[in-house]
Amino acid sequence: MKAFNPMEVKDLAVQWIRDWFEENGPGCNAVLGISGGKDSSVVAALCAEALGKDRVVGVTMPNGFQPDLPDSLRLIEHLGIRHLQVNIGSSFEAMMTEVGGALGAINTEISAQTRINLAPRLRMAAVYAVSQSLNGRVANTCNLSEDWVGYSTRYGDAAGDFAPLGGLTVAEVVAVGKVLGLPVDLVEKAPSDGLTGKTDEDNLGFTYAVLDHYIRTGECPDPEVKARIDWKHRTNLFKLLPIPHFEY
Which DSSP string corresponds to 10-42? HHHHHHHHHHHHHHH-TTPEEEEE--SSHHHHH
What mean pLDDT value characterizes the chain?
A: 94
Distance CA 193, CA 180 (A): 24
Confidence label for 1 from pLDDT (cuts 50, 70 and 90): low
Range of the domain at 202: 6-240
| 246 belongs to a structural domain | no
In a domain, 118, yes or no: yes
**16 domain residue, yes or no:** yes
Angular region, 78: left φ>0, alpha ψ -120 to 50, beta rest: alpha
Query: What's the total number of domains in the chain?
Result: 1
Mean pLDDT of 4-22: 97
Nearest to 153 by CA among 115, 191, 190, 188: 115
> How many helices (H) and strands (E) are present in the chain, helices listed first?
11, 4
Residue 245 domain-assigned? no
Query: At residue 15, does pLDDT exceed 90?
Result: yes
Q: 13 lies in a domain?
A: yes
Average pLDDT over residues 60-64: 94
Residue pLDDT, tens place only, 187-228: 998 776 665 667 888 889 899 999 999 999 999 999 999 999
Please work out, in degrees rounded to the nearest 5, the angle formed at the alpha carbon of residue 132 by the alpha carbons of 131 and 137. 50
Secondary structure letter of residue 237 according to DSSP: G
pTM listed for this prediction: 0.94
Domain of 106, CATH number, reads 3.40.50.620
